[in-house]
Amino acid sequence: MGLIAKHLGKIDATSLTATTVGTSQALHTNLTTLDTIVTSITMHNQHTSGVIVTLVRTFDNAESAGTPDADDEMWQQTVDASDTAVYDVPIPMTDTNDIIRVYTNTSGKVTVWADGFTLPDQS
């Protein structure tokens, strides 16, 4: 049986207003007990200058149950003006409420989306 890739989440540029780790916005939340693999996160900068994009991962455990902080940041990159960047390192999400979040240094300029698949139930 094959896996079906799917679109896991998207934040349009006008909706991406978070500019700090503490206000980072959820791009994808693992809502089931099934394992999800985020295979890529694509970021398109519509601004006339570079924008720093930061990806944040929080886990469904007591350590990260509160506000995300710098320890939760997993990747940061400047996306040049009118350019697109792809983070293509697989991210396994194994617990309900594992979350991939995003914020930028300039609000309202970058569209971000995540793709991946959910592993079939093996029970």
Give the pLDDT confidence of 45-81 residue by residue, as tens digits.
Answer: 999 999 999 999 988 754 545 578 888 899 999 999 9
Spatial distance between the Cα atoms of 76 and 8, rounded to a whole number of angstroms? 20
Whole-number pLDDT of residue 16:
95
pLDDT at 81: 97
Cα 35–88–23 angle (5° rounding)? 75
**pLDDT (0 to 100) of residue 78:** 97
Give, in order, the Cα–Cα distances in Å from 23 to each of 15, 20, 101: 13, 5, 9
Domains of the chain from N-terminus onward: 6-118 (2.60.120)
